[in-house]
Amino acid sequence: MSRMTGVVLPGNSTVEFREYQVPKPGAGQVLLKMKASSICGSDIRAIYREHLGVGPEAYQNVISGHEPCGQIAEVGPKVKRFKEGDRVIIYHISGCGVCHDCRMGYQISCSSKLRAAYGWQRDGGNAEYLLADEPDLVLLPDNLTYLDGALCACGFGTCYEALTRIEVSGCDRVLVVGLGPMGLAALMLAKAFGAAKLIGVDVVDERIKLTKKLGLADLVLKADKNTLEQIKEATDGFGCEKTIECSGNADGRLLSIQGTRQWGKVAFVGEGGSVQFEPSRDIIHKQIAIYGSWVTSVPHLEDLAEKLSQWNIHPDKIITNTFSLDKADMAYQLMDEGKCGKVAITWPD
Ligand SMILES: [Zn+2]
Ligand SMILES: [Zn+2]
């Protein structure tokens, strides 16, 4: 096969199907036969509706999809570790490889002009084949599905990073604000980390229903003026020791801070928007630490894949809808409406 179809997002809430030459892997590169490509909230927020992103989030009309997982179909010269047939997750940013952030494995924070994210500045996963650089590959354990892998590439990786950053453990009750795919991922992983109690909050009925149906939280609350009180009631009057903020909404963010116990920690992962709080009342006198956490590192993505395999935990549990590539328009539309769990494009094995 020499031609393939790729999905481009023009930025007016539509998708465009374009024809491409199947790429040839150069030195240090592999050609991936795509198996699963899930849609991230960022695709909707910064690309699908309107091209809002700047800098690392500037979309350059490439093939979309930054949560790719597939099987290596061809290896280029000088590939050192991976081989044809390997099942791999793509860490979705290619960095320069030699700056301090890249050397720590955080290509996400690479500031070199050479940095390019798959599905943003270089071709991503929404096509039959994907050209990837070897340093961006993470081996997918045998007992994980391609969908599991795709979900780790951005969303679950990001949640894993946030949970490790604020050191969630069995000592903690965990509050998750925002129950979109990120919130569901945060709940699943927090449970695996041993969290003592899980509380989820959202405003969208479908999300609340899905969280309950999946059995991911001990308590699921529909946000209203009593939510903070309900969180305190469920935690002996204290609030939760650790909180993951996934809503990106001003009220949600304030709730995440106020629902955190004295000396507790909050990680912000929900993007966009703003927040207003009273520093003295909300964080200083409560001795609270707020962490910003952006994506993850390649080694942490490897750790996550290994741990999911050991725990036999499957991120694909939060997938509610899959589509073939030719129905990508429906996939993005559904994800944009937000009345679903995670949505992905898949290819038959
Ligand atoms: Zn993403
Ligand atoms: Zn770099």
Q: What is the pLDDT of residues 121-135, one digit of tens each?
A: 999 999 999 999 999
Nearest ligand, CA of residue 95?
2
Ligand 2 centroid, distance to 130 Cα (angstroms)? 22
- How do residues 188-198 score in pLDDT, each as one tens digit? 999 999 999 99
CA–CA distance, 58 with 222 (Å, rounded to integer): 34
Average pLDDT, the chain: 97
Residue 1 has pLDDT above 80, yes or no: no
Structure tokens at 41: 């909230």
pTM for the whole structure: 0.95
CB 131 within 8 A of CB 31: yes
Ligand 1 centroid, distance to 119 Cα (angstroms)? 10
Predicted confidence at residue 341, as pLDDT, reads 85
- How do residues 259-295 score in pLDDT, each as one tens digit? 999 999 999 999 999 999 999 999 999 999 999 999 9
Nearest ligand, CA of residue 295?
1
Ligand 2 centroid, distance to 94 Cα (angstroms)? 8
Which alpha helices (H) appear in the chain, and where do they start and end? 41-42, 100-103, 146-151, 157-165, 181-192, 205-214, 227-233, 250-258, 298-311, 328-337
Q: Average of pLDDT values for 5-24?
A: 97
Ligand 2 centroid, distance to 57 Cα (angstroms)? 16
Q: State the pLDDT confidence band at 53, using cuts at 50, 70 and 90.
A: confident
CA–CA distance, 44 with 164 (Å, rounded to integer): 27
Predicted confidence at residue 60, as pLDDT, reads 96
**Residue 22 phi, psi (nearest 5):** -65, 125
- How do residues 61-79 score in pLDDT, each as one tens digit? 999 999 999 999 999 999 9
Ligand 1 centroid, distance to 159 Cα (angstroms)? 11
Predicted confidence at residue 249, as pLDDT, reads 97
Ligand 1 centroid, distance to 148 Cα (angstroms)? 15
